[in-house]
Structures are given as C-alpha cells and as structure tokens.
Structure 1
Amino acid sequence: MAFDAVLFDRDGTLVRDVPYNGDPRLVEPMPGARELLGRLRATGVRTGVVSNQSGIARGLLTRAQVDTVNARVEELLGRFGSWQVCPHGPEDGCPCRKPRPALVRAACAALGVPPERTAVVGDIEADVHAALAAGAHPILVPTPATRRDEVVRAPVVAADLREVMALLFGRGR
C-alpha cells in the first residue's frame, strides 16, 4: 500500500535514544534516516513526528529544551510537516500520550491526511498501539530497548530504517 504520510517516533527511531535529552549536541540520526526521509519527501509523502516527552512532566527537561532538540533534528534530517509532542507523564492519564491515538490523529489532521493512509514508524509497542488505535499502519523497528514480546506481537517489523524504505517503496525500486 502506498501512504500519503509517514509519522515517526523521535527517540530510538529517527535519532539515537538519549534518555531525557535536552542537549541538541547529542542528537545523532539513526542509520538510514536521511535516506528514507529524502525518498519520502522526493515522492511527495508527508512526514511528521509523534513523540512522548515525559521528561517535561518529570521536571527533567523544559519544553524549550525539547523544542531545541527538535530543531536540531530538523537541521540534520530536514523539515517535518508536523511535530506532535506529549509533555505528560505516564500517570497523568492524558489523551495524547502514546499508546493513546491523539498524537497520531493530530499529526494526520495537521498534514491533511487520513490515518488509514498513514504509516507510523516506532521502536516500542506504544507506537504500534497508538497507530492501530488511530486507524494507521504501524511499523516496528526494534532497538535493544524493545522487548522481545513486543516484536512478536507487532503486525509489521523492519530490522532498520533501510528495511522500512524497502517495505514502503518495494525492494529494488
């Protein structure tokens, strides 16, 4: 299936996961991120980011620090059509924190695409559940932090972002 938009989790998916990162100097793209994003943008596929940032609620980061890190992500990987960030902690019960679907739905609305024409790429089961709850298509890209049982339950798994590109565009295209 061709998608109109692809949404990405930030930490562990687009960039290396640095827990509660408030320092833009620590932003390092994941292998294949530049190539995948370049291909998506070149073919007119809209891109966005959906990211839980509980460090804000925990007092470990400010929203300004998160925004500065996000700006650095864009410097390294190009502009995204939507940034949706949940600043709440797991115990806050907010509607936006993944695995709930509000971030995915908000990104789809901002990009002007229906969820059913959207893929969501992430590294943990919360990303998968958020996609499914919103009616989007999840792609799990496991990292060492991903639990094995999450990988087994995921409907679509890619080894890395290069394999995501092969899934989205077909091999050899």
Structure 2
Amino acid sequence: MNKAVFIDKDGTLVKNVPYNIDPARMMVEPGAVEALTLLQQNDYLIVVVSNQGGIAKGYFTEKDLMKANSHLAGMLAEEGVFVDAFYYCPHHPDGIIADYATKCSCRKPAPGMLLRAAQELQIDLSESWMIGDILDDVEAGHRAGCKSILYDVGNETEWVLDRFRNPDHKITNLLKAADIICQLNYNKVLEHEPAPESV
C-alpha cells in the first residue's frame, strides 16, 4: 500500500484567487515546492483534492478546470515536483447547472475524494495526511482516516471545532508541514525496527 499527502489546491497549494482558472493568475504558495519535494523524497504520493463549486455555479467548465490543473502540474514539474493525481468535486447545492447542483459525498468536508483516491491509487489512509487551509479540509481528512495539518494563514473564518475539525497540527509554512510529516514517519519506522542483537 502507498502512503499519500492529500493537499488542498486553492489557498494551500496555490494562492487563493476565488474561482480562478486563469494560468496567468496562478501562483504557487511559498514553500510549496520545497515541501512537496521533501514529501516525494520520502515516498509520499502527492494527491491534490479540491472543491470546485464554480463548475456547478456556471463560472467555468470541467474542461476549463482540467486545463488549469494541467498548467499547474506543468509548473510544478518544471521544479521537479510531480503530482500523482488531481481529484475535484464539481458539485454545489446552490449551483445553477442541474447536473452539478446537488449535495454529494465528495465535496469537502465529506471524505469522498480521499476515499476514491485511496481505492484507485492503493493508498493506506491511516499512513496518510491531509493538508488544507480551512477546517473543512481537516474534517475531510479525519473522516477518511488520515491525520491532518491546518495551513493557518487566515482563510478559516468560522472556527467551528469538533472531534473531526480539530487539526493534529497547525502551521503557517508548508515546508514545516512536510518536516512534521517526515519526522513522524521516521520516528514510526524507528519504533518498528528490531532491536540490535546483543553480542
């Protein structure tokens, strides 16, 4: 089984520009490239999971989004970072496009995107993490069985906490998030290594 880091897109991986699919306005968050590089060096899959209610609201199409995701993947690849998969939820209960105007099981805080990725990519969710900038990301991660890190840069405004929405860690720097994940994984490996034989 693989281990993965699920990462939110808008506001976490890239600057939070609402409903943005314009490549010219797409900027990677500080520390994101370094963080993802470190995670990949430690054998984590990188899986982007994002709510894209703008599709349901008619602001852009799935084809537009896929072009934007492809551009983002190219930007990261130029830096030596390779995204293993993009998953997105096109639904929103207040949408105007009938096919997408629904309450679903994939829109975060529901865990559907993570569960689907786990099945398709052979991911052990108990060994995986969710990083996002709002508590809906934290909740989706916990409901899927992952550990969570809140990228606390002011995008969460409601702070409604419960057992699913309480992050395991809060950071303001994505490289720090990667450091935490890799260090905890290293410690776990050490715990399971057999003790040296006595002479």
TM over 0.5: yes
CA-CA distance at 1:148 after TM superposition: 6.5
> What SS does the aligned partner of 2:171 have?
coil
Counterpart for residue 155 of structure 1 = 168
Counterpart residue type for residue 80 of structure 1: V
2:167 is equivalent to residue 168 of structure 1: no
Counterpart for residue 90 of structure 2 = 87
Q: Is the Cα contact below 8 Å between 1:108 and 1:118 reproduced in 2?
A: no
CA-CA distance at 1:160 after TM superposition: 1.7
The structure whose Rg is larger is 2
Alpha-carbon RMSD: 2.1
CA-CA distance at 1:170 after TM superposition: 3.1
> What SS does the aligned partner of 2:73 have?
helix
Percent identity between the aligned chains?
32
Counterpart for residue 64 of structure 1 = 63
CA-CA distance at 1:166 after TM superposition: 2.0
**Unaligned stretches of 5+ in structure 1?**
none
Counterpart for residue 9 of structure 1 = 8
**Distance in 2 separating the partners of 1:51 and 1:90:** 16
| Structure 1 residue ranges (4+ consecutive) displaced by more than 6 angstroms after TM superposition | none
> What SS does the aligned partner of 2:65 have?
helix
**Unaligned stretches of 5+ in structure 2?**
95-101, 187-199
2:52 is equivalent to residue 53 of structure 1: yes
> What SS does the aligned partner of 1:170 have?
helix
Q: Is the Cα contact below 8 Å between 2:12 and 2:133 reproduced in 1?
A: yes
CA-CA distance at 1:46 after TM superposition: 0.9
Residue from 110, 113, 121 that aligns with 2:131 = 121
Q: Is the Cα contact below 8 Å between 1:46 and 1:111 reproduced in 2?
A: no
**Distance in 2 separating the partners of 1:89 and 1:30:** 26
2:151 is equivalent to residue 141 of structure 1: yes
Flag the 1:24–1:157 CA change in 2: closer, same or farther, 3 A.
same
**Distance in 2 separating the partners of 1:77 and 1:112:** 23
Q: Is the Cα contact below 8 Å between 1:124 and 1:150 reproduced in 2?
A: no
2:107 is equivalent to residue 108 of structure 1: no
**Distance in 1 separating the partners of 2:143 and 2:166:** 15
